Amino acid sequence: MGLLDRILHRRGAADRRGVAPAVALVEPPPAAEVVLLRGSHDLEVVGESHYQDALWRVVGGRTAERVRVDVQAVLLTEPDNPYDPNAVSESIEGAKVGYLCRDDAKTYRSGLHELQSRHGALIALPGVVVGGGTRQDGPGMLGVWLSHDPADFGVQAIVPPPAVALGTQVEDYGQAGRRAGA
């Protein structure tokens, strides 16, 4: 039985390999403490397309309107993940909602372990679930973005942000929501 199996209170995990659960619930141990870290750098969650039902539950149910809901996501390593041994999943309100991309998972994993050891608790980050609405091809999907301080994980922040570093035009909409100078 692996660490994730103990966290999820799964018995007989070896007998179920290769069988995906019908609902991807991630429940920390009942007495598990969670430490919420904050920061101003974005951290993208990927794979949300596989967890749309869970995300719609998090935001209060399906709607034709666009949504933006503040959340707190717990980061969990998945050493037994058959696709990526460095996988780091995110759960909101006990439901798995996605993963860090492979590169980020590899970069952040050791720092996450260090933080969990130092605090003796699970680590969570504030974030936002956004999206929804209606598109020409059907209902819009939901996505998740987290906020963090890379230094907490022992990672050097990218300064300036990638769009500026790549020479991409960045529009300044200012606080009023209008493009500066328009």
Q: What is the mean pLDDT of each run of 10 residues along the chain (182 residues)?
A: 50 44 46 87 94 95 91 96 96 96 95 94 96 83 94 85 49 46 48
Peptide bond into 160 cis (omega under 30): yes
CA distance 96 to 138: 24
Using alpha carbons, list the distances in angstroms from residue 171 to 41, 128, 154, 174.
18, 22, 31, 9
Residue with token string 């922040």: 157
Instruction: Determine the pLDDT at residue 2.
Output: 53
Tell me if 173 is assigned to some domain: no
Tell me if 15 is assigned to some domain: yes
Instruction: Determine the pLDDT at residue 41.
Output: 92
Comparing CA positions, the residue from 41, 43, 37, 44 lying closest to residue 159 is 41
CA distance 84 to 82: 6
Comparing CA positions, the residue from 146, 148, 114, 128 lying closest to residue 38 is 148
Instruction: Determine the pLDDT at residue 135.
Output: 82
Range of the structural domain that residue 143 is part of: 3-165
Instruction: Determine the pLDDT at residue 140.
Output: 86
Instruction: Determine the pLDDT at residue 18.
Output: 43
Instruction: Determine the pLDDT at residue 144.
Output: 96
Domain total for the chain? 1
With 0.85 as the threshold, say if the pTM is over it. no
CA distance 178 to 86: 41
Tell me if 135 is assigned to some domain: yes
Tell me if 64 is assigned to some domain: yes
